[in-house]
């Protein structure tokens, strides 16, 4: 029996796929990357916006059309908030709410009639690393959020905060290390709130990971900036913590931040960024900004432009505000017209692109270690191209003459230039490589 796992939306949804892959493996169900081969399809849905809910429905229908014989299990925020609607979709066999996600594998197993002994039932300690990426693993450290930002439906869907224990997380990380994982990403609904329900903290968890594991690279998914203690960035003096964080600000206007029920002012946010860059000048900060929030004036929008200029973000995710039934913001007066939101979004994208380019240009001629990922690409000129990420999470590539295997290796490189065609950084390897036979290297044509 095989299961196909897929997720929409946040990194937490991706991390849950990893947990379920382990659960399914213990039940004797292997993970497949091909939906046509699956007896079971699990879709972890998103509902952060109305568009995300629509894409969730679209994905469920598409997967059912590809494999109508497979049983379909739907979970996640869309399934929890719109259960009746999700149940009515063609092909859906089971809805698992967010509250029951830890039982998903067991509930899904009941859909399948077993005819033989599960192949992996005698190997309960074997980790079924999610098949799409063998270099990096997402670690779900907690779920839920105690805050209620006025635009956010996720806290309604996910419920109260619930943290996994430090010992449980350390055991998972060590197991992933044994499987060859070189990089972990700590993720959750409210990552910075980790430990609030079990008398610990994100800071203490990171210290424990640094002291009691040896995984080479550690990253964070989105972290609310107000959760970070004053000494948090001192942790990054340890080179295993990668100098990149996604800290969502959402607006440069303190007036709009207050309407959003955000707990961080723009000046406090900029101070945090300075703390990070005092430890590492190349610390890459990425963020989220919402344009067109109810009541946003031109003056408010100008403050969002200004924070992009001051912060020097490596990337900005820009969202046009859309009403989400069930949130406080949907009932606020002074809703912004669609044409205004589109114009502001376009302006902000252009500005963010300029500063992203500046961030990338500053890296030219520097040395960085790169984790190389995936398969080699065979170019028309006969060279082999690999892609990877720098310490501060900039995507790079290298073209090499010989068919060496780089995947899942961390190598020191020099950043040479920005490739005009792709917009990515091109690097040179600074470490010698042993060649392998072409037949030992998995290659895809581009």
- What gap in Å lies between CA 403 and CA 385, rounded to an integer? 10
In the predicted model, is pLDDT for residue 378 greater than 90?
no
Give the class (CATH, top level) of 367-445.
mainly beta
Question: Two tokens at 154?
Answer: 């996720």
Q: Which CATH code for domain 136-361?
A: 3.80.30.20
- Going by C-beta distance under 8 Å and a sequence separation of 6 or more, which residues neighbour residue 25? 31, 120, 126, 127, 128
Is the pLDDT higher at 190 or at 121? 190
In the predicted model, is pLDDT for residue 416 greater than 90?
yes
The residue extents of the domains of the chain are 2-109, 136-361, 367-445
% of residues, the chain, pLDDT over 70? 91
In the predicted model, is pLDDT for residue 47 greater than 90?
no
CB crowding 166-189: b at 16 or more within 10 Å, else e = beebbebbebbbeeebbbbbbbbb
Answer yes or no: are the C-beta atoms of 289 and 318 closer than 8 Å: yes
Task: Give residue 239's pLDDT band: very low, low, confident or very high (50, 70, 90).
Answer: very high
| pLDDT at residue 328 in the model | 87
| pLDDT at residue 368 in the model | 96
For the domain with range 2-109, which CATH number is right: 3.20.20.80, 3.30.70.360, 3.40.50.300, 3.40.50.12160?
3.40.50.12160
Is the pLDDT higher at 376 or at 247? 247
The dihedrals phi and psi of 271, each to the nearest 5 degrees, come to -65, -40
Least trusted range by pLDDT, from 39-43, 151-155, 250-254: 151-155
In the predicted model, is pLDDT for residue 128 greater than 80?
no
The pairing of strands 410-418 and 367-378 is antiparallel
In the predicted model, is pLDDT for residue 113 greater than 70?
no
| pLDDT at residue 432 in the model | 79
Rounded to 5 degrees, what angle do the CA atoms 393, 399, 405 make? 80
| pLDDT at residue 415 in the model | 97
- Going by C-beta distance under 8 Å and a sequence separation of 6 or more, which residues neighbour residue 33? 4, 131, 132
| pLDDT at residue 52 in the model | 86
- What gap in Å lies between CA 165 and CA 150, rounded to an integer? 30
pTM exceeds 0.75, yes or no: yes
Answer yes or no: are the C-beta atoms of 97 and 125 closer than 8 Å: no
Answer yes or no: are the C-beta atoms of 410 and 430 closer than 8 Å: no
- What gap in Å lies between CA 80 and CA 24, rounded to an integer? 22
| pLDDT at residue 13 in the model | 85
| pLDDT at residue 220 in the model | 94
In the predicted model, is pLDDT for residue 171 greater than 50?
yes
CA distances from 181 to 137, 372, 373 (A): 7, 12, 11
Task: Tell me if 2-109 shares its fold with 136-361.
Answer: no
The alpha carbon of 429 is separated from its chain's Cα centroid by a whole number of angstroms, namely 27
Question: Two tokens at 7?
Answer: 């997720």
CA distances from 176 to 137, 138, 173, 185 (A): 8, 10, 5, 12
| pLDDT at residue 30 in the model | 87
């Amino acid at each position: 029996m095989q299961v196909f796992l897929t997720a929409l939306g946040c990194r937490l949804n991706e991390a849950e796929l990893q947990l379920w892959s382990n659960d399914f493996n213990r039940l004797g169900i292997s993970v497949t990357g091909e939906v046509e081969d699956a007896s079971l399809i699990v879709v972890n849905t998103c509902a952060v916006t109305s568009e995300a809910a629509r894409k969730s429905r679209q994905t469920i229908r598409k997967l059912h059309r590809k494999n109508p014989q497979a049983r379909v299990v739907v979970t996640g925020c869309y399934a929890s908030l719109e259960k009746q609607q999700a149940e009515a979709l063609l092909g859906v066999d089971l809805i698992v709410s967010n509250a029951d996600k830890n039982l998903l594998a067991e509930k899904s197993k009941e859909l399948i009639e077993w005819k033989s002994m599960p192949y992996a039932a005698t190997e309960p300690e074997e980790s079924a690393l999610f098949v799409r990426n063998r270099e990096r693993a997402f670690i779900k450290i907690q779920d839920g959020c105690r805050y209620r930002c006025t635009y956010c439906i996720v806290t309604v869907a996910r419920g109260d905060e619930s943290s996994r224990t430090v010992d449980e997380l350390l055991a998972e990380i060590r197991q992933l290390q044994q499987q060859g994982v070189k990089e972990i990403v700590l993720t959750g609904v409210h990552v910075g709130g980790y430990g609030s329900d079990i008398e610990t903290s994100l800071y203490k968890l990171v210290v424990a990971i640094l002291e009691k594991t040896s995984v080479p690279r550690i990253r964070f998914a989105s972290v609310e900036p107000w959760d970070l203690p004053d000494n948090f960035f001192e942790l990054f003096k340890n080179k295993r913590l990668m100098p990149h964080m996604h800290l969502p600000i959402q607006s440069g206007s303190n007036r709009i931040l207050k309407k959003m029920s955000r707990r961080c002012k723009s000046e406090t946010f900029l101070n945090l960024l300075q703390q990070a860059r005092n430890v590492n000048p190349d610390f890459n900060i990425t963020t989220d900004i919402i344009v067109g929030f109810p009541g946003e004036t031109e003056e408010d929008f100008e403050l969002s432009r200004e924070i992009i200029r001051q912060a020097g973000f490596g990337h900005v995710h820009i969202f046009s505000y859309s009403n989400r039934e069930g949130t406080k913001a949907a009932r606020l007066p002074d809703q912004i017209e669609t044409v205004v939101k589109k114009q502001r979004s376009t302006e902000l994208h252009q500005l963010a692109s300029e500063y992203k380019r500046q961030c990338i240009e500053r890296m030219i001629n520097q040395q960085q270690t790169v984790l190389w990922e995936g398969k080699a690409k065979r170019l028309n000129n006969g060279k082999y191209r690999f892609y990877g990420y720098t310490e501060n999470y900039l995507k790079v590539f290298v073209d090499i003459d010989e068919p060496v295997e780089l995947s899942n290796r961390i190598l020191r490189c020099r950043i040479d230039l920005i490739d005009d065609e792709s917009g990515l950084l091109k690097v040179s390897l600074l470490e010698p490589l042993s060649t392998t036979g072409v037949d030992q290297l998995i290659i895809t044509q581009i």
